[in-house]
């Protein structure tokens, strides 16, 4: 999967698992980070889903703090 496909797959996974508004971008010099936009109160749920997101080909899962 390319980075865009990985992001779409990660978003689908998050949507199916109770994070309907989640958006994912690939960040890092090797696009190895799934940068996820979710509300702060959803971070625990996101952390629980991190292994599944990494299984899509990301090395790290992070909350996007960019404004």
Partner 1 sequence: MVSGQGTAPVERTGRVLRGGGPEAGELRSTGRLYYISCNRRSWRARPGDTARLVRGPAAGYLGAVRTVCVERQRDESESMRDLIGAWARGSSLEERYERLVELIEGYGSVCVGYSGGVDSVFLAKVCVDVLGADRVLAVTGRSASYPAVQWEMALECARRFGIPHEELETEEQLDPRYAANPTNRCYYCKSELWSKLTALAAERGYAVVADGSNADDAADFRPGARAGAEWGIRSPLAEAGLTKADIRELSRRHGLPTWDQPAAPCLASRIPYGLAVTPARLQQVERAENAIRALGFREFRVRHHGVAARIEVAPSEQPRALAMARELGRELRSVGFERVLLDVEGYRRGALNEGLPVLAALP
Contact footprint for partner 1 (CB under 8 A): 27-30, 32-33, 35-36, 40, 43, 46-47, 50, 59-67
Return d(Cα 29, Cα 41) in angstroms, integer. Answer: 29
Question: Nearest distance from residue 15's CB to partner 1, in Å?
Answer: 17
Question: Nearest distance from residue 2's CB to partner 1, in Å?
Answer: 18
Return d(Cα 52, Cα 29) in angstroms, integer. Answer: 22
- Selection from 61, 51, 67 nearest residue 25 by Cα: 61
Between 9 and 32, CB nearer to partner 1: 32
């Amino acid at each position: 999967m390319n980075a865009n496909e990985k992001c779409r797959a990660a978003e689908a996974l998050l949507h199916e698992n109770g994070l309907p508004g989640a958006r994912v971008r690939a960040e890092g010099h090797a696009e190895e980070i799934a940068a996820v936009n979710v509300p702060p109160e959803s971070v625990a749920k996101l952390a629980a889903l991190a292994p599944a997101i990494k299984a899509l080909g990301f090395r790290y899962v992070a909350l996007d703090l960019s404004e």
